[in-house]
Amino acid sequence: MKKYENIYFIGIGGIGMSAIARYYKFKGYNVSGYDRTPSELTGELEAEGIPVHYEDNTDFIPGSPENTLVIYTPAIPHDMGELTYVAEHGYKVLKRSMALGEITGGQRCLAVAGTHGKTTTSTLLAHIFEQSGEGCSAFLGGISKNYGSNLLTAPNDVVVVEADEFDRSFLQLHPETAVITAMDADHLDIYSDLAHVKEAFRAFASQVSGTVITKYGLDIGPGDTEARILRYAYDDARADFHAVNIVKDECGYFTFDLAYPGGVITGCRVGVPGWVNVENGIAAAAIALNYGIAPASVRKALATFAGVKRRFDIHYNRPGHAYIDDYAHHPAEIAAAVSSIRDIFPGRKLTAVFQPHLYTRTRDFADGFAAALSKADRLILLDIYPAREEPIPGVTSDIIFDRADIRDKVLIKKEELMETLEGEDIDTLVTFGAGNIDRYTGSITEMMQRRYGK
């Protein structure tokens, strides 16, 4: 890396790409990049001194092949002009996952993998290390509300990484310790079926040198890895790490004792509500305790965790009215989030707004989405956010809408959302999706404050 002066990012505005860009800026390189559209995140990068442009123009590519490394995201089309140019003109070009593999190589990599839960769990883990005084570098898949960033840095050799299964990216990592939170069918445009998803996670487990900690019940065994295998669970006593003496307060926060192989940590409380976050907290604590972080530090960090933007992110909560935004874009994630919301706000009318993400995912999981969303009282369904994909004939939001077993439902365009919400008396509202539905969180929050008070 020392021979390069410039690091150029194609698709710099992605959550994973921006963390790596920030890392190289921190290390003293000249960092710049392209993204398709401006966003809050690209605005932050520009404010931090990282130039970003929004047109496919090779004039913005800095330096020469000898002194410039190019990193790209697989979300970029293969025929994109800048990407084609650097490939044809002798630049060293790395996929994002390969760059992350190079950064973490030779360091004590603590990785969090899983088809859902990995962003909150990895952010919790990084927070535990920060609060304990041990410190770590961390590449996160979301913006930590404690630190206002998706990147943490430290002078030691400990690095926390969210290990992404998309495009088998996590196979570029060779962690010392890893958590696997879930192995559900997802990214079937890459894997084709659940069997190949599980095969990739087993391959990831085989690359772990020290300890693999899996959610209890996942099909990872001694035949899959030479690493030691431990299990965690929410409250299943058969797991090595689990909660006991669980008490929920009227606001949905949980107090519990954490049982682990070394004893019991009493009086734990996660600083964000919902039983799902207790489970994520146990997973993060399992890595930290296995590393050697003191139990008292784990307890303190769990309590001071402020959450992750767009992960069960409560924007408004007043008597009789609440608004939550969540990144959930898989049926299992939506079902878990709805379960937590019902637990926190029992007996309330729940309105779910969902923006499907990707044509392939909509096609592959239409039944699952319909079933999970039917657990709400009212469904507002938006058009599909295509991201990197071209339309698929016959695949629209209608295939979810028609299968949703819920009487109170409506299918609208994204641009009609605010007008629709303005005409309703909202009790408990949740917005779901991994597309650009988050552009509306500010407007929805302002509407709730205007109508129901600050």
Q: What is the pLDDT of residues 104-125, one digit of tens each?
A: 999 999 999 999 899 999 999 9
Q: What is the residue range of 192's domain? A: 105-304
DSSP 25-50: HHTT-EEEEE-SS--HHHHHHHHTT-
Q: Is residue 9 within 8 Å of 32, Cβ to Cβ? A: yes
2 has pLDDT over 80: no
367 plus 400 within the same structural domain: yes
Instruction: Give the alpha-carbon dihedral of 293, 294, 299, 305, to 10 degrees.
Output: -30
Q: Which tokens in the block code for residue 318?
A: 């007043």
Please name the helix (run of DSSP H) or strand (run of DSSP E) that holds residue 315, with its range, or none: strand 313-318
139 has pLDDT over 60: yes
Specify the CATH number for the domain of residue 329: 3.90.190.20
Boundary (domain end) residue, out of 41, 63, 95: 95
Which pLDDT score is estimated for 262?
A: 97
Q: Report the distance separating Cα 409 and Cα 432, nearest Å.
A: 15
Average pLDDT, the chain: 95
155 plus 249 within the same structural domain: yes
The number of distinct structural domains making up the chain is: 3
Q: Alpha carbon of 100 to those of 35, 46, 73, 164, 173: distances in Å? A: 19, 22, 12, 11, 8
| Residue corresponding to tokens 């130039």 | 51
Q: Report the distance separating Cα 268 and Cα 289, nearest Å.
A: 14
326 plus 298 within the same structural domain: no
pTM, full prediction: 0.86
293 plus 166 within the same structural domain: yes
Query: Is 415 among the domain residues?
Result: yes
Specify the CATH number for the domain of residue 233: 3.40.1190.10
| Residue corresponding to tokens 């927070």 | 127
Query: Is 144 among the domain residues?
Result: yes
Q: Is residue 234 within 8 Å of 216, Cβ to Cβ? A: no
Boundary (domain end) residue, out of 95, 127, 143: 95
Query: Is 419 among the domain residues?
Result: yes
Query: Is 11 among the domain residues?
Result: yes
Which pLDDT score is estimated for 184?
A: 86
Strand duo 137-144 + 149-152: pairing: antiparallel
- What does residue 80 show for φ and ψ, rounded to 5 degrees? -60, 135
203 plus 282 within the same structural domain: yes
Query: Is 429 among the domain residues?
Result: yes
Specify the CATH number for the domain of residue 65: 3.40.50.720
Question: pLDDT above 70 covers what percent of the chain?
Answer: 99
> What's the pLDDT band for 3 if we cut at 50, 70, 90?
confident
Query: Is 1 among the domain residues?
Result: no
Question: Which whole number is the average pLDDT over 243-272?
Answer: 95
Boundary (domain end) residue, out of 95, 114, 139: 95
Angle subtended by helix axes 15-26 and 40-47, to nearest 10? 10
Q: Which tokens in the block code for residue 94?
A: 């790395």
290 has pLDDT over 90: yes
Query: Is 298 among the domain residues?
Result: yes
175 plus 235 within the same structural domain: yes
Query: Is 100 among the domain residues?
Result: no
- Tens digit of pLDDT for each residue in 342-396? 989 999 999 999 999 999 999 999 999 999 999 999 999 999 999 878 999 999 9
270 plus 371 within the same structural domain: no
68 plus 87 within the same structural domain: yes
243 has pLDDT over 90: yes
73 plus 144 within the same structural domain: no
Q: Which tokens in the block code for residue 391?
A: 């339309």
CA angle 134, 225, 211 (to 5 degrees): 20
> What's the pLDDT band for 1 if we cut at 50, 70, 90?
low
203 plus 140 within the same structural domain: yes
230 plus 140 within the same structural domain: yes
Which pLDDT score is estimated for 78?
A: 87
- Tens digit of pLDDT for each residue in 154-182? 999 999 999 999 888 899 999 999 999 99
Which pLDDT score is estimated for 329?
A: 92
Q: Which tokens in the block code for residue 436?
A: 């650009």
Question: Which whole number is the average pLDDT over 214-220?
Answer: 96
112 plus 232 within the same structural domain: yes
